Amino acid sequence: MPDSFVVLDVRELPAPEPLQKALLTLQELPETTGLLLIHRKLPQPLIELVTKQGYATEVEEPEEGLYHIRIWRVSP
């Protein structure tokens, strides 16, 4: 897992903007930096998509209706 994460809060965005913004941000990140996505729902499609594209994910639910999803690259 990388040391640093860029934070992206998409709680106020309507679907599918969180998915689009997350993918766009991941494309622009250096390989050593991860993405911390803050979301009101569990973005299962995003998780499936990035997993297929060589990223690892870790999900936390600190409270009901709040998700922290860490995404980072594990393979080129």
CB 4 within 8 A of CB 34: yes
Per DSSP, 3 falls in state S
| Cis-peptide, bond into residue 76, ω within 30° of zero | no
Q: Using the rule CB under 8 A, is 67 a contact of another protein?
A: yes
Single out the residue of 29, 38, 49, 56 in contact with another protein (rule: CB under 8 A).
49
Residue corresponding to tokens 């999803």: 69
Please, which residue, 7 or 42, has the CB nearer to another protein? 42
Residues lying near another protein in the complex (CB under 8 A)? 12-16, 19-20, 23, 27, 40-45, 48-49, 52-53, 58-61, 67
